[in-house]
Amino acid sequence: MTINPLLINWDTPHQTAPFNEIKVEHYLPAIEISIQDAKKEIDAIITNTEKPTFQNTLEALELAGAKLSEIASLLYNQNSAETCDELQAVARDASPKLTEYSNYISLNEELFKKIKTVYDDRENLTLTPEQIYLLEHTYKNFVRRGAALRGNDKKKYSEISTELAKLSLKFGENVLAETNAFSLLVTDEKELSGLPEGVIEAAAQLAKSKEKEGWMFNLQFPSYYPFLQFADNRKLREEIYRASGSRAFKKNEFNNEEIIKQIVSLRLEMAKLLGFENYAHYVLEERMAQTPEKVNDFIQDLHKYSRPVAEKEYAEVEKLARKEGFHDAVERWDWAYYTEKLKAEKYGFNEEEVKPYFQLEKVQDGVFELAKRLYGLSFKVNKAIQVYHKDVSAYEVFDEDGSFLSVLYLDFFPREGKRGGAWSSDYRPQSNVNGNPIRPIITVVCNFTKPTESKPSLLNFREVETFLHEFGHALHAMLSNTSYPGLSGTNVFWDFVELPSQMMENWASQKEWLDLFAVHYKTGEKIPDDLIQKLIKSKNFLAGYASDRQISLGMNDMAWHTITEPVNAKVSDFEKNAMNDTELFPNIEGTCTSTAFSHIFGGGYAAGYYSYKWAEVLDADAFSVFKEKGIFDKKTATSFRKNILEKGGTQHPMELYVNFRGQEPKVDALLERSGLK
């Protein structure tokens, strides 16, 4: 009998996954067996005849199902980064089984009774602050996940949560299918006018890989966005924009409109079952922002500052377009094209000028060096650690004293089996229960420009910021120093989770950091000071538009999740009404943001997309300390590490922030940094 590699203890470096041995058909049997084993561990807690204590109830619950969690993390990380039809089918089959197991815990009356016994006696227990926080957090989570429901309501909650898990998966599959379905093949070289040499070469390489003659462009960001930025052919810009904007909005099997309506209706029904007015009220109870009213006030306040600036920016772009001989309305497919020209006119450079100085390998060196200067970290590639794709590299991460901290996978380039965007997640969280230290296994996944036959991967400035952003999430997970996995790393309030990531982005426009690594990939010449100054000066280019764009997505998210009755309107009409105050462009029939808005319908940002702007307030305020003390100031970095990065979710985030900063954050630092005030 063949042993399922997912069900044994891995004899690999740091117990990393043996990717070379794992096959798609191993997942489902391993999940089914692990669910049964995990249920036995839960049952052992329930049938324990001793008086419920923190150790035999809360701690035992934290440790239960560890193997199942490991396998599920592996499955869903692979389904995001290197999927196929067979793996997607496994994820679809596994999802209701895992949801049923989750409900087996959260809806278990006997288990909840034991937790409540410990919770009610908490004033008399000798617990550490982290243990108290875990106890309160667990009790509240059980209530929020239906533990206090009775009879039919409990059954209904279980059905809703199972159905939501299926719909969320299907939503993401549809977006990926639609992204992969489109390609633009150019066979006339004249139609490449305006495109930089590197973009053209990458398009030729993509066409060749598909056994086509000519130049091919697709909807993956490194291909799609430069086409909008530089292609002189407006008709083709419109074609590729419409293809992106209509993903999962066409009348075909991948349409997401009904799925969205089902998701928001089920979320509303779940919230009402639990005693909340709507889903946003339910979500925000466990956020720094607390209520939809506070979120909407926050969004509107920023909109008040952003909108006038955005309108002025639009007028500037329109004026330049007129000067260039363009007399139609500036549409969405014109925006990147003319803003790139405006940037060149205002600041004397464009994105392509800086790319030769941002060779991916050098940027990676710069990011590693930043982590060394701030936190004393070092990174060592380990080829004995198996990876799931040839483009992935595995690193061992060590602390300043040489002790092992984490495994870090880096996965940079787009492929058909990888969803769009960039993210960081864990294969294994950090924990240290009863002196048994388990260090985390973390991944950073991006979709950067691939190397060509003549050029290495050269990043634009936004991609440099993206690398820093996801690396900030990774630092949060890698430097975690908590006892319990449920409170470690990025297991924090959702509107706090973006602080470490957005904080790291600040270094992208700091000359002292750029000077460490930014050299021309051909000549080795250091990035010129005047180019750095242009880059820094252009940092707030289109700040009003960018801010209002984020705000518009936050408005859309909040609108979907503050409904109090099911939505009968067309999805496109609903979102248009939600985002109308921020619109600068004419409406484009046949396109829709919501149908590909994976953050809120396929990810964890429902009623939480505002958190990007919320965290910008935090990071601008926090980085002001580094600006005052020095961008590599070790004392400030140590405080940020000790008070925020190491603490995970062991305290309320505002307490953690004040411990670092000495005061609550103020919006002024963000408005000043962005040039909005």
| Helix orientation angle between 221-230 and 234-245, rounded to the nearest 10 degrees | 140
Residue 100 placed within a domain: yes
Query: DSSP secondary-structure letter at 458?
Result: B
The 10 Å Cβ neighbour count of residue 670 is 23
Distance between CA atoms of residues 630 and 507, nearest Å: 11
By DSSP bridging, strand 441-445 and strand 423-428 are antiparallel
- For residue 589, being part of any structural domain is answered with no
The answer to whether the CB of 478 falls within 8 A of the CB of 442 is: yes
pLDDT at residue 669, as a whole number: 87
Q: How many domains are contained in the chain?
A: 3
Which H or E run includes 261? helix 257-273
Same domain, 127 and 187: no
User: Do residues 136 and 226 both lie within one domain?
Assistant: no
Closest by Cα among 512, 450, 473 to 604 = 473
| 525 shares a domain with 454 | yes
Please check whether residue 301 lies inside any domain of the structure: no
**Do 637 and 502 share a domain, yes or no?**
yes
Domain assignment present for residue 282? The answer is no
Nearest to 157 by CA among 272, 264, 63, 327: 272
- Please report, as a single letter, which amino acid is at residue 372: K
Task: Say if CB 493 and CB 140 are below 8 A apart.
Answer: no
Contact 220/207 with Cβ under 8 angstroms? no
Closest CA to 243 of 337, 335, 167, 332: 332
With respect to residue 337, please indicate whether it lies within any of the assigned structural domains: no
pTM for this entry: 0.93
Write phi, then psi, for 396 (nearest 5 degrees): -95, 135
Helix 571-579 crosses helix 543-561 at what angle (to 10 degrees)?
Answer: 130
Give a yes or no: residue 520 inside a domain: yes
For the chain, residues with pLDDT lower than 70 are 1
Instruction: Indicate if 67 and 191 belong to the same structural domain.
Output: no
- C-beta separation of 397 from 445 below 8 A: no
The domain in which residue 659 lies consists of: 356-542+612-674
In angstroms, the CA 409 to CA 426 distance is 10
Helix axes 151-181, 85-106, angle to 10 degrees: 160
pLDDT of residue 1: 63
Q: Are 150 and 65 in contact (CB under 8 A)?
A: no
Last residue of one domain, picked from the residues 198, 229, 245: 245
Please report which residue ranges of 64-190 form alpha helices under DSSP H: 66-81, 85-106, 109-120, 129-144, 151-181
d(CA 367, CA 444): 13
Distance in angstroms (rounded) separating the CA atoms of residues 363 and 468? 9
Using only the alpha carbons of the chain, give its radius of gyration: 25
Same domain, 219 and 133: no
Q: Are residues 240 and 136 in the same domain?
A: no
Place of tokens 């006696």: 121
Last residue of a domain, one of 245, 260, 291: 245
Asked whether residue 303 is assigned to any structural domain, the reply reads no
Question: How far apart are the C-alpha atoms of 528 and 11, rounded to whole Å?
Answer: 49
- Beta-carbon contacts of 507 under 8 Å, excluding residues fewer than 6 positions away, are 370, 468, 513, 631
3-state helix, strand, coil split of the chain in percent (to 5) is 60, 5, 35
- Who's near 626: CB < 8 A, 6+ residues apart? 506, 633, 636, 637
Collapsing DSSP states into helix, strand and coil, what is residue 356?
helix
Measured from the Cβ of residue 17, the count of other Cβ atoms closer than 10 Å reads 26
Spatial separation of the C-alpha atoms in residues 343 and 351, rounded to whole Å: 9
Residues 134 and 60 in one domain: yes
Which SS3 state, helix, strand or coil, does residue 407 take? strand
pLDDT at res. 475? 98
Q: Domain for residue 294, yes or no?
A: no
CATH number of the domain bearing residue 530: 1.10.1370.40
Residue of 470, 505, 575, 646 marked catalytic: 470
Looking at the structure, do residues 119 and 195 belong to the same domain, yes or no?
no
One domain, residues 527 and 639: yes
120 and 223 both lie in a single domain:
no
pLDDT of residue 668: 87
Q: What is the DSSP letter of 137?
A: H
Classify the phi-psi angles of 65: left when phi > 0, otherwise alpha if psi is within -120 to 50, otherwise beta. left
Per the annotation, the verdict on 173 as an active-site residue is no
Alpha-carbon torsion angle 162, 609, 625, 286, nearest 10: -40
Task: Name the H helices within 196-256.
Answer: 197-209, 221-230, 234-245
Please compute, for residue 622, the number of CA atoms within 13 A of its CA located in the half-sphere on the CB side.
Answer: 30
pLDDT at 202: 95
- Do residues 486 and 432 share a domain? yes
Looking up residue 25, the CATH number of its domain turns out to be: 1.20.1050.40
